[in-house]
Structures are given as structure tokens and as C-alpha cells.
Amino acid sequence: MEGVDYLAGERKKAEFDVESMKIVWAGSRHVLEVSDRISKLVADDPAFRKDDRTMLSRKELFKNTIRKAVYAWKRIVELHLSEEEASRLRFYVDEPAFTDLHWGMFVPAIKGQGTDEQQQKWLPLAYKMQIIGCYAQTELGHGSNVQGLETTATFDPRTDEFVINSPTLTSSKWWPGGLGKVSTHAVVYARLITDGKDHGVHGFIVQLRSLEDHTPLPGITVGDIGMKFGNGAYNTMDNGLLRFDHVRIPRNQMLMRVSQVTREGKYKQSDVPRQLVYGTMVYVRQTIVVDASSALSKAVCIATRYSAVRRQFGSQNGGPETQVIDYKTQQSRLFPLLASAYAFRFVGEWLKWLYTDVTQRLQANDFSTLPEAHACTAGLKSLTTSATADGIEECRKLCGGHGYLCSSGLPELFAVYVPACTYEGDNTVLLLQVARFLMKTVSQLGTGKQPVGTVAYMGRIEHLMQCSSNVQKAEDWLKPNQVMEAFEARAARMSVSCARNLSKYANPEEGFAELSADLVEAAVAHCQLIVVSKFIDKLQQDIPGEGVKRQLEVLCGVYYLYLLHKHQGDFLATRYLNPKQAALANDQLRALYTQVRPNAIALVDAFNYTDHFLGSILGRYDGNVYPKLYEAAWKDPLNETVVPDGYHEYLRPLLKQQLPSARL
Amino acid sequence: MEGVDYLAGERKKAEFDVESMKIVWAGSRHVLEVSDRISKLVADDPAFRKDDRTMLSRKELFKNTIRKAVYAWKRIVELHLSEEEASRLRFYVDEPAFTDLHWGMFVPAIKGQGTDEQQQKWLPLAYKMQIIGCYAQTELGHGSNVQGLETTATFDPRTDEFVINSPTLTSSKWWPGGLGKVSTHAVVYARLITDGKDHGVHGFIVQLRSLEDHTPLPGITVGDIGMKFGNGAYNTMDNGLLRFDHVRIPRNQMLMRVSQVTREGKYKQSDVPRQLVYGTMVYVRQTIVVDASSALSKAVCIATRYSAVRRQFGSQNGGPETQVIDYKTQQSRLFPLLASAYAFRFVGEWLKWLYTDVTQRLQANDFSTLPEAHACTAGLKSLTTSATADGIEECRKLCGGHGYLCSSGLPELFAVYVPACTYEGDNTVLLLQVARFLMKTVSQLGTGKQPVGTVAYMGRIEHLMQCSSNVQKAEDWLKPNQVMEAFEARAARMSVSCARNLSKYANPEEGFAELSADLVEAAVAHCQLIVVSKFIDKLQQDIPGEGVKRQLEVLCGVYYLYLLHKHQGDFLATRYLNPKQAALANDQLRALYTQVRPNAIALVDAFNYTDHFLGSILGRYDGNVYPKLYEAAWKDPLNETVVPDGYHEYLRPLLKQQLPSARL
Ligand SMILES: Cc1cc2nc3c(=O)[nH]c(=O)nc-3n(C[C@H](O)[C@H](O)[C@H](O)COP(=O)(O)OP(=O)(O)OC[C@H]3O[C@@H](n4cnc5c(N)ncnc54)[C@H](O)[C@@H]3O)c2cc1C
Ligand SMILES: Cc1cc2nc3c(=O)[nH]c(=O)nc-3n(C[C@H](O)[C@H](O)[C@H](O)COP(=O)(O)OP(=O)(O)OC[C@H]3O[C@@H](n4cnc5c(N)ncnc54)[C@H](O)[C@@H]3O)c2cc1C
């Protein structure tokens, strides 16, 4: 029945004020207000419907994305939306598009790496979308190793131009979003060559397509790289390939903020410090962490609501069966993900602060915290995206068979999310960078150089190497200092143990390579500590709203005790815990699940997602799952006819045993 | 270049005879010969091409599947293929189709549950495909809980018929493969009602569609349930919905081998034991375990070959970069999956033996081993399918960005595989059954009832509770008896610990529910022990071929040491190992990776997969990845035109700033 809230009973059980929690989730009352208004604007506009997305052919899908992206822009202009509102609108449209790269990579690259003059020339065009740009770095043969890119930009002093060329097949640009079919321009990364000398990889603004008829300019071969994972999903994006056959661009289209090529062809560094690029990197990674919490929270919202609707087994005397959310196995898989979504939200919030801090320091020419900020953001990007990708798939499995239907929303969410583990730094490569930083930190202990920020705990290394847990009963695991010491001791001991093993190798690089799997584990331990500590820090703040803080304390406990249980081997192997204490942690975790249970629906309601944004029948706000699943099924193209295409040609001859022996 | 083997150098490194390993993998020289012949037959026939599958619309895709399935049948008839060959052919066509359910569920259901008379009537029609059948059990509201199904079959003694009815929306059949568009018949599970009495769920043969024009028979509503996860993938299958409005079928279409309804409407049991159904269950689960090893080995084959082709970083003096397979992090993620593929193969082989054993005992009315066989197959189904689903996605990530392209084959492999974690028993529900069996086994220790088969180790419970590991150096971890004791002690202690905690509850069911997450962990430990022990058993056999046994020993070591490291918390918490011994296991594991490395390509060659079957450019036998990726990109429908559909309508007005303010 329409209009009935099948989850009303669940909502009544909540022991906290949902509206206040919405503010906590959003970050502020202001952000909540904007998000709420813009998400409803999108949801109410039929031009943004997306429920047919997984059924469209690639061409229909892509045309539709162009339509939506351009329409979204028109609405932004018409409604005079602020930058914040515009970016929220793109977020709630919830469809990867060339505009993501235009606003998220092309514009920032010019801002970060262009001179003032270059910015004055290109940014107004980009801001009005009179040109559309993408970010063309990765090649067929090189992704992670940016320094290995093969595209060349050779300065020709006779004409004052760069000649951009793709010398090999593997030098073809490959992957840039928005490149395949839409972008008129690109920031292209290529090896700068002047006077026969290779200066390494630099960025260049290159026009790709005619602004008159959109055909590729002479010397340029460009196209889409083909279907990607999933229906709908990232196939709305025209990830592209690009080859240059000696394409000439004026010298002033090299991005020259940090280094320049003069009219004479001399290469020189400006006095702008190279480290400036790190600011952008911190920014981009912060958005990735926040996006992780969004994606995970969507999946958790769907799985939680459906788990309250779905009943299976346990009927007594013909009464209703048990809601699957009441099974402890379901809780032990679902609630840690709910807690993770909140944890990632808060660490994302903290990263915003870090970005401001880094930016201010850069402006004051203070580069001292950069290595730490770099390692910390690399690690958090890796940790949160991996956990989110796995978590979405776990949520899908938690929905049983129906989770496998596209109408559950979960398959598309997974398919569209997983590349976050790969782009902006492959997650393993990033963890190795964290590990390198940790090893350096350990090696400098005792040299007087105090570790700062997220590695400050290493300053207490002597204590952390010797201490052991005081936990004696399950409730002791609710004490933040007990928990912090446990995670710090584990992380510190794993790092130190790696460092000791490394020191046995004559060649440190060889040792690092050999022990890299262990180093990655140490890096993960360190990153988990960061997330736990930022969640605990958050709880030190004043958090208004009835029962809100209490709920967050429970979720925080679920998060760290789940990690502790999952990785109990680390805690036991480093002898910080004994088996009894590890078992007590598990007991406490179980008790916390029981506390989450009555609040579960309200905790996902606090995300304040519209049904449009969720895009899931299983996750409907009103819980009216079955009739809507049934309705949706009939929309499949196969149901357009009662008798399927192929019956007369193939099936009937088979059933009638009239198969001709010629080829079908 | 065509015809060049870019992996020839890798193949030369192998330290064993690949042809002999092919026989080991296949199971016998005969199976290898059949598989090799049939897979090539499929690969060489353009009618079976599948490289365009992920680009087709649902309707095109589905029509194509009908075409292939019917063509496959024609070839089977024309070539007079044996049953074994026919089933291999369907396997290598590698496309889920209605025929899977016809042969895999419909026919076996009639064979297992039909009387001799019923078999004589229906099987010849099914064998010739004059009728096509499916297996209609799951409903919109009930999957795992089969006893909760709502469809009714009410006996009407006046007409000697059953009236099949769908009383509620949630009673709609939902999910059966082959039902949506193709099947003419179904085995339908419904509550049998005679004289107002409910006898629970029974099977009935019901005709769904006219054999003349394929339209649904009166009272029947049937259709497809819509798109599922992924492009191509399982969307070739018409999983369907089905509603009955008082549909009448003759009494003799109830499957009456085990229980009957007489002409007078009396319900009675035959003297055929109910337990017979377990035989089929063991059979089906055995095939699922073997399929897991196939799916995982495909993914591993792709990721291993590509990891040898892909180079990133580490170039010295302009020489080639490092193959990513040489990175220890890559090895530590990839090689355990390679070892798992082999491990699952061997445990699958053992399950074939178990099936024969169970069948023979059933024929001799010996039901004593059934509970153990049931628990063991449930657990192995759960363990292998979960590990395979995760493993495929890990392989995809191991391929970096390019793994996200459909042309890598990995997205489709994942999407088509994951429902194996849900169908034939949700993996968590199955592990809870294993746990129940383990708790029963523990409770009976000391009562004189000796545990048999895969729980025989529980008979040595006193020793297993007290012993501790003798390992003193890394190589000790290569001794099978050390390993067996470790896995047995861990599993036994986890079960006993659960049993002790359970005994603290007054109501055992309440305790079981409360502790179910821990019980699942104990069940996993038990199942891992089974896989490890069957791998070790395999190595006790005579295995011909130069170096073959040696390689399998290495893989076996990788498998158990990987598990041991991953779950070291269990081993430490139960105090069977101390931290030092756990660290030694990890050292030994690292050493084994180095031994796998030169053999990796040959170890995946031993699967003997054709490029057609693999369906992956990254996994090509010849390693000629880049030119083929480039070629494939151009086939995307978006590349049919240089300027995309939507340019004139939407993009041009945007770029030219001529957006009308009307709705787009
Ligand atoms: C959806 C999507 C969108 C993208 N958008 C853009 C875009 O807009 N612009 C753009 O320029 N690029 C884009 N990319 C490309 C992306 O940045 C690269 O895919 C990413 O950097 C990973 O590089 P790779 O693909 O070369 O992986 P590889 O480096 O080849 O990784 C393969 C394997 O090797 C391992 N490995 C690599 N190096 C090491 C090492 N040193 N030590 C240990 N292991 C190692 C990795 O862990 C991985 O397991 C996109 C990619 C995707 C999937
Ligand atoms: C691709 C595909 C093909 C299929 N083909 C067929 C077919 O041919 N014929 C057919 O009849 N059916 C078919 N099915 C249906 C399939 O058998 C069911 O989906 C499966 O049995 C799982 O049941 P469910 O979907 O009801 O999951 P649910 O039982 O609803 O599971 C939802 C969640 O509840 C949890 N849960 C349920 N019960 C318990 C419990 N007692 N304790 C703890 N947790 C519990 C589960 O672990 C899961 O996390 C198919 C399904 C799929 C996805």
C-alpha cells in the first residue's frame, strides 16, 4: 500500500534524536539544510530519473548522461546556485560524467600548476563550460609509475611550439574520464624534452576537438576505451584513449607555475616550491575519504532497512518470522559496516581540517608536516576505499538473493565504486608509501627529531613497546585510553618489528622489497589507529541532541572492537593482549550489537538520503519492498513480449524436434 | 605481433612437466583428453563467440543465448557426444542458460523424487528436450526458509486434481532460472493440502506454457524478474517470476517417490527413506565446489599472466621495468589464490568419492554417515564459494586499472560467480548448520559415539586440547603432521570453547542465537581443516611427472601457511602456537612464494584453458596484451561515430552558450 510506513515501528524504537544526528552526519546545520534542499530538488525532477539506467544500451546510457549533465548545468545557472550547491547537485544526480573530471581535475590542475596568466586565460572559459577539459595522465603502459610515462613534448625553438607525440602503442593515453567522446581540451602529461634533454613529466594544455563541429584536430586519434564493470555504473563515463601524431601547441600551453621553458628553449625552475602540488593531493584524497563514507553509508542504509523488512525462519505458532536483522550473524556483518560509515565520515571531516592546516603552512613556507600529511592521506585513502568496496559487496550478500537484482541498487553501487581502490593511487602502492614513511619515522626515533601529527605516538615508543593491557572485564573495553593504548601499541610494535627485520638486510631496498607484505600490514595497523583515534577525538567534543552522543559512543565501540577482533592476531602476536582480554573484547562487541539493534533504522535514516539517491527498492524509506520489486520486474525489456525473441527461430524447432542440421 | 609468445621466457623457467600437471588438474588423462578436445571444438566455432557479450542489450543477449543453447544441443546430437562430452561442451560454452536448470535441477528432481512410472513418462521427453523444465522453489518472500513457502497445492478429490495457487504476493515464485521466458514445465514446490490439512512442502510437475505457441497456460502469470549484476554475466538467464491462479494439474503430477496422495485424498509415506534426498544434495554441492575451483582458476590464470606482462617501476639504467609479479605484495595476494584453486580442485575430487560412498551406504540403508556428509558438504560449499568470489575480485584489483575493463574478463566473471554464495544455501545459513553439527559432535564426546569422517579428529580431543606446537624453525612448517595438528587443535579448541560458552545458557537455542557469530568462526576453522587435510592426503598419493609433486607440495604449503597467517589470532588465542612460531610460519610462507614465482605461469597453463574460455585480453596465452586491448576498444558502440549522439542536441548548445532556458 502506498503511503504506509512499514518501518514506523522500527523508527519508534530509536533512543536518540534523529534530526540532531542528521546534523552530525552532515557536518553542520547549514550543510544539512543545503543537502536536504538540493537532494529533494534532484529527486523531484523527472529529468534526473535513474531507475532505468541499468537497462540502457551503452549508447542510450551515454546520451542520457550528456543530457543530464547539461541539464544539471542549466539548472545551476537558472537557479543561481552557489558553488557549494552546484557541487551538491552534481553529487545527488549520482551519475559519473565528464563534468566530474572537468571540475574535479581539469580546473584544479590549471589552478594548481598554471601561472596567473594561464589561469586568467583558461579558467573563465572552463568556468562557463565554453571548453570542457579532462586530465590525461595514465597511458596504456603506465599508471602507477607516472615517471615512466612515454608521451613526449619536444620543444621546437624555431616555431616556439611543443610537439606532442605518442612514440609507441603503450604511450597511448588510456583511462582519462571525459576524454573518449566529450572533452574539447585536456591537461596532458608528457616528458618535456628541450634540446635533446629529458626533464621528466610535465603538464600541457592541449586542445583535442574542434569547437565548431567536435571532430578531433589533425594528428589526434581519440576514442572510448570500451565497456567497464557493471550495468549503468561507470559506463556513463567516456574513459578514453588518445594518440598524438606530432601535434603542435604554443609554448605558453605548458603549465608553468613551477617550472618553465623560455623562448630560447631553456628549462628553469620558478621560485614557487614544488611541494605546492601536495596541497592538491591532500584535497583530492580528502574528498575520496568523504566519498567512501557516502558510498558505504548508502549500501549500509539499503541492507539495514531490508534486513528489518526481510523475515526468515523462527515463526512461532504461526506468528511472523524473525526479522533477519535480529540474527547475530547478520548484526556481526552489518553493524561494523554501519560503524565504519560513521568512522569514515569523521576522519573525512578531520582531513578537511588537515587540508586547511597544510595549506596555511605551505603559504608560510613551512614544509615540515608535509611528509606526515602525505603518508596519512595516502593511508586513509587506501584504508577507506578498500573497506568500502568490500563493505558494499558484503551488504549485497546480506540481502540474500534479492541483493543480486539491479533493482536493489547494490550491484551498480559496487561496480561504480570499486575503481576508487585503483585510481588516485593503487591501494597497495599507497600502503607501501605509508610503510616507507613509518620505517623512516622509526629510524629517526632517538635522534631528537620528534614525530608529529598522526605518528606522534611513536614518540612514546619505549612505553608502547613494554606496556600491556590492563583490561580485566568486558566493560574495560569501553575506556578510550585502554583502546588507544592497544591500537598504538599494536601499530608501534608492528612497525618496530618490521624495522628490526629490515635491519638484517645488507641492502635496505632489497629488504624492503622482500618484507613488503609485512610492511603493508604494519601500514594498515597504523591507518586503523588514525581512524579509531579521530572517532574517539570526535566524542570528546560537545555533541548536542538527545541520546546522540551515546549512540556515537556505541558505534565507536563497535568500530574498534570489530577491528580488534578481526586483527586479534596482531594484538596477541605483539603480546600486548592475552587471549582472555581478546575474548573479553569480543564479549563486549556482542553486547554493543544488542545496543545498536533498536537504533539501527534511525541510524541510517540520519544519512537523510532520498529514495532517488539510494536508487534501491530494498532500501526504500517506507519498507514497501515486495510490491515494488514485483512492479519493477515487469519493466525489463524481456517482458515487452510474452513470447521471447528467438522462440520461433530456435526454441520451437527444438521443442518440435525439427532442428535442421544446417548451422543455426 | 601475431604468433609471438611473449610469455615464452616465463614458460621456460618452469621446473616441472606441465603436461603431467594438466592431467593432475583434470583428474585423469581421459578427462584431460575430453576437455581438451571439446574446449577446442567450442573455441574454434564462431557460433560460440562471446567477446561481444558485455556490449549487448538484454534482448539481444538473451536471444543470443537461446541461439547458442539450441545450437549446442544440435552439435551434441550431430556429433553423437556422450553425456560426459555434452556436459563439458555446455561448460566450455560458458554462458548461463535455461539448459543448466533443465539438466541440472529439473531432470535430477524427477529422477530423485519421481516414481518409476513418473520417470518413465517425463524423462524421455526431457532427455529429447521436447519439454524444457526448471526448478521453482524460491518465492518472493522465502528463500532460505523452504518450509515457509506459501504456494499451495490443494487436493480436489472430486476431480482427482491438485489446485495450485499463489495466495499472496510474497508467494510468487521468484528467481527460478529458465522460468522467465523459456521453460515449458517446472517442478513447483508448494504446501500440500488434503482435506484441510497442511502436509508441508512437496514437489509437483506443472506445465507452464503451451507446447504449440509458447503462451502461458490459463491461470499462469509468468515473466522475467529483471536485470541482475553485471553486463552479460547472469543476464543470459531468464530468472523468472510465476503466479498461479487456481491452476489444476492431475494428481499423478505430484512427485510421489517418498510420499503419496491416494485417489481418495489420503496422504501417506512410501517405504522409500526420506534421507534419499541427501544423496542429490551431496552431488549438487560437489559440483559447486568443483565449479569454484574452475572460476577461481580462471581469475588466477588471467591475473598471473597479466602480472608477468605488466611492468611498473624499477627500471635500472633505462632497462625494462620490474614485472609486477616480482613484487612480494603482488605475490602475497596472488599466490595464495593460485594455491586455493588447486586446493579446491582436490577437495572437489574427494567430494566425488564421498558422493559414491554416501550413495552406496544409502542403498544399503546405512544412514549413519549422513549428518557428517551433510555438514561437510554444506561447509565446503560455503567456504569455497566465498573464497572464490573474494578471490576473483582480488584478481581484478591485481590487474590495476585494466582489470576494470570488461575486456579483462574479470568483471563478468565476478558478476556471474557471486550468486554462488547465495543459491543452494546462503553461505552463512550453511555455516550455522555446520556449527550445529559440531556442537552436537562435541556434546557426544565421551558418550561412546565415535565421531567419524571429517570430524574423526574430535575423537582425539584430549590430546588436541593439551598439545602445543613443536615448531622451532621455519622449515618445521613443511612437516604435514605439524600442520595437521595445528589445524586440528585450532578447530577443536574453537568448537569446545563455543560449547562451553553455550552451556552457560539455560536455553540452548537462545545461547546458539547469541553466540552464532563465534559459532560461524568455529565452523570456518573446521572447514579449512578439511581442505588442508585433503590437500595433504592428495600428496600422499603417487603423482607422476617430473617435478609435479614438488610443485604441489609448495602450493599446499602456501595454502595452509596463508590460512595460518591470516587466522593467526585463532592459533594464538587457543594457545596452540606462540608468537614466535606464528612468525616462523610467515617466514616460511615468504620463502615459498619465491619458489612459486618461476613456476607461476606454467602452473596456470596447467589449467589448459583456451583463450575463448578465459575470455580475457589480459589473460591471453601469448601475453600480447596491449595491441589487443587497443583493438578491442574500437569495437565499443560509442566508437561507431566520431561525434557522439547528443552532441548536437546538448553539448554544442552548452559549448556555444546557447542553452535555451526550456527543459532539455
Ligand atoms: C575508472 C577509472 C578512472 C580513471 N580515470 C583517470 C583519469 O581521469 N585520468 C588519468 O590519467 N587516469 C585515470 N585512471 C587511471 C588510474 O589512475 C590508474 O589505473 C591507476 O593509477 C593505477 O595504475 P595502473 O592501472 O597502471 O595499475 P598498475 O600499477 O599496473 O597495477 C597493477 C598491479 O601492480 C601492483 N604494483 C604496481 N606497482 C607496484 C609497486 N611498486 N610495488 C608493488 N606492487 C605494485 C599494483 O598493486 C597492482 O596490483 C582511471 C582508472 C580507472 C579504473
Ligand atoms: C542467481 C540466482 C539463481 C537462483 N536460481 C534459483 C532457481 O533456479 N530456483 C529456485 O527455486 N531458487 C533460485 N534462486 C534463489 C536462491 O535459492 C535463494 O536466493 C537462496 O536460497 C537464498 O535465499 P534468500 O534469497 O531468501 O535469502 P535470505 O534468507 O532472505 O537471506 C537474507 C539474509 O538473511 C540471513 N539469514 C537468513 N536466515 C537466517 C538464519 N536462520 N540465521 C541467520 N541469518 C539468516 C542470510 O544470511 C542473509 O544474510 C536463485 C538465486 C539467485 C541469486
- Answer yes or no: do A582 and B573 touch at CB < 8 A: yes
- Answer yes or no: do A180 and B428 touch at CB < 8 A: no
Q: What is the mean pLDDT of residues A224-252?
A: 98
Looking at the DSSP bridge assignments, the partners of residue B221 are B243
Query: Ligand 2 centroid vs A110 CA: distance in angstroms?
Result: 51
Cell of A48: 534526473
Residues 408-437 of A with CB under 8 A from B: 411, 414-415, 418-419, 421-423, 426-428, 432
Strands A152-156 and A161-165: antiparallel
Residues with CB under 6 A from ligand 2: A 310, 312-313, 324, 327, 329-330, 398, 400-402, 404; B 101, 135-138, 143-144, 175-177, 234, 239, 419, 422-423, 426, 428-429, 432
Query: Ligand 2 centroid vs B134 CA: distance in angstroms?
Result: 17
Q: Does B121 touch chain A (CB under 8 A)?
A: no
Min Cα separation A123/chain B (Å): 14
Estimate the crossing angle of helix A18-26 against helix A29-43, to 10 degrees.
90
Which chain B residues are within 8 Å of A590, Cβ to Cβ? Answer: 514-515, 517
- Ligand 1, atom 9: closest residue by C-alpha: A176
Run of H or E residues at A352: helix A328-363
Q: Note the pLDDT of residue B657.
A: 85
Q: Does B500 touch chain A (CB under 8 A)?
A: no
Which chain A residues are within 8 Å of B518, Cβ to Cβ? Answer: 586
Min Cα separation A356/chain B (Å): 31
pLDDT in tens, B442-462: 999 989 889 999 999 999 999
pLDDT in tens, A174-206: 999 999 999 999 999 999 999 999 999 999 999
Q: How many contacts (CB atoms, under 8 Å) link A and B?
A: 388
Q: Does B639 touch chain A (CB under 8 A)?
A: yes
Q: What is the mean pLDDT of residues A534-540?
A: 98
pLDDT in tens, B585-597: 999 999 999 999 9
Please list, in sequence order, all residues whose beta carbon lies within 8 angstroms of the beta carbon of residue A509, skipping any fewer than 6 positions away: none
Between residues A271 and A12, the one the model is more confident about = A12
Query: Ligand 1 centroid vs A473 CA: distance in angstroms?
Result: 46
For the domain with range B107-272, which CATH number is right: 3.40.50.2300, 2.40.110.10, 2.40.128.20, 2.60.40.650?
A: 2.40.110.10
Asked if residue B330 has its Cβ within 6 Å of ligand 1, the reply is: yes
Q: What is the mean pLDDT of residues A96-100?
A: 98
Query: Ligand 2 centroid vs B136 CA: distance in angstroms?
Result: 13
Which chain B residues are within 8 Å of A393, Cβ to Cβ? Answer: 393, 418
Q: Note the pLDDT of residue A662.
A: 40
Nearest residue of A to residue B127 by CA position?
A655
Q: What is the ipTM of this complex?
A: 0.98
Run of H or E residues at B585: helix B579-596
Q: How confident is the model at residue B663 (pLDDT cuts 50, 70, 90)?
A: very low
Looking at the DSSP bridge assignments, the partners of residue B203 are B189
Residue A658 has pLDDT above 80, yes or no: no
pLDDT in tens, A99-116: 999 999 999 999 999 999
Which of the residue ranges A270-279, A294-303, A447-456, B86-95 would you say has the lowest mean pLDDT? A270-279
Instruction: Give the C-alpha separation, B304 to B605, whole Å.
Output: 10
Cell of B91: 561448460
Annotated binding site of B: 138, 177
Residues of B assigned a catalytic role: 424
Which chain B residues are within 8 Å of A573, Cβ to Cβ? Answer: 568, 572, 579, 582-583
CATH code 2.40.110.10 region(s) in chain B: 107-272
Q: How confident is the model at residue B607 (pLDDT cuts 50, 70, 90)?
A: very high
Residue B659 has pLDDT above 80, yes or no: no
Ligand nearest to the CA of B201: 2
Query: Ligand 2 centroid vs B144 CA: distance in angstroms?
Result: 5
Run of H or E residues at B153: strand B152-156
Q: What is the mean pLDDT of residues A330-340?
A: 99
Residue A568 CA: distances (Å) to CA of A497, B116, B235, B372, B569: 17, 57, 41, 31, 5
Residue A408 has pLDDT above 80, yes or no: yes
Testing ligand 1's pocket by substitution, the residue of A99, A138, A234, A516 carrying the most ligand atoms inside 8 A of its CB is A138
Instruction: Give the C-alpha separation, B388 to B95, whole Å.
Output: 18
Instruction: Give the C-alpha separation, B416 to B236, whole Å.
Output: 10
Q: Note the pLDDT of residue B662.
A: 40
- Answer yes or no: do A59 and B227 touch at CB < 8 A: no
pLDDT in tens, A586-620: 999 999 999 999 999 999 999 999 999 999 999 99
By CB atoms closer than 10 A (0-12, 13-18, 19+), residue A192 is buried
The total of other beta-carbon atoms located within 10 Å of residue A353's CB is 11
CATH code 2.40.110.10 region(s) in chain A: 107-271
Q: Note the pLDDT of residue A663.
A: 42
Torsion of CA B409, B410, B416, B418, to 10 degrees: 170
Asked if residue B327 has its Cβ within 6 Å of ligand 1, the reply is: yes
Ligand nearest to the CA of A625: 2
Q: Note the pLDDT of residue A661.
A: 53
Testing ligand 2's pocket by substitution, the residue of B95, B144, B518 carrying the most ligand atoms inside 8 A of its CB is B144
Residue A541 has pLDDT above 60, yes or no: yes
Q: Does A218 touch chain B (CB under 8 A)?
A: no
Looking at the DSSP bridge assignments, the partners of residue A224 are A240
- Ligand 2, atom 7: closest residue by C-alpha: B176
Which chain A residues are within 8 Å of B181, Cβ to Cβ? Answer: 638, 644
Which residue from A180, A198, A392 is spatially nearest to B641, judged by alpha carbons? A180
Calculate the average pLDDT of chain B. Answer: 96
Q: Does B651 touch chain A (CB under 8 A)?
A: yes
Name the residue facing A226 among B63, B407, B661 (closest C-beta). B407
Q: Does A515 touch chain B (CB under 8 A)?
A: yes
Which of the residue ranges A270-284, B177-191, B291-305 would you say has the lowest mean pLDDT? A270-284
One-character DSSP codes across B613-638: HHT-STT-TT--HHHHHHHHHTTSGG
Which chain B residues are within 8 Å of A411, Cβ to Cβ? Answer: 228-230, 415
Q: Note the pLDDT of residue B3.
A: 83
pLDDT in tens, A235-247: 999 999 999 999 9
A107-271 classified as CATH 2.40.110.10: yes
Residue B391: φ, ψ to 5°:
-65, -40
CATH code 1.20.140.10 region(s) in chain B: 277-605
Q: Residue B428 CA: which ligand 2 atom is closest? A: 47
Q: Note the pLDDT of residue A664.
A: 40
By CB atoms closer than 10 A (0-12, 13-18, 19+), residue A284 is middle
- Ligand 2, atom 25: closest residue by C-alpha: A401
Residues 244-303 of B with CB under 8 A from A: none
Asked if residue A419 has its Cβ within 6 Å of ligand 1, the reply is: yes
Residues 570-599 of A with CB under 8 A from B: 570-575, 579, 582-583, 586, 590
Asked if residue B324 has its Cβ within 6 Å of ligand 1, the reply is: yes
Residue A197: φ, ψ to 5°:
-105, 135
Asked if residue A350 has its Cβ within 6 Å of ligand 1, the reply is: no
CATH (residue range A277-605): 1.20.140.10
Residues of A assigned a catalytic role: 424
Ligand nearest to the CA of A236: 1
Q: Note the pLDDT of residue A637.
A: 96
Q: What is the mean pLDDT of residues B298-307?
A: 99
Longest dimension (CA), chain B: 92
pLDDT in tens, B13-71: 999 999 999 999 999 999 999 999 999 999 999 999 999 999 999 999 999 999 999 99
Calculate the average pLDDT of chain A. Answer: 96
pLDDT in tens, B524-552: 999 999 999 999 999 999 999 999 999 99
Q: Give alpha helix (H) positions in B445-547.
A: 461-466, 480-502, 508-514, 516-540
pLDDT in tens, A46-82: 999 999 999 999 999 999 999 999 999 999 999 999 9
Residues 129-168 of B with CB under 8 A from A: 129-132, 138, 140-145, 148
Residues 78-97 of A with CB under 8 A from B: 78
Name residue A60's amino acid.
Answer: E
Q: Note the pLDDT of residue B167.
A: 98
Testing ligand 1's pocket by substitution, the residue of A105, A151, A175 carrying the most ligand atoms inside 8 A of its CB is A175
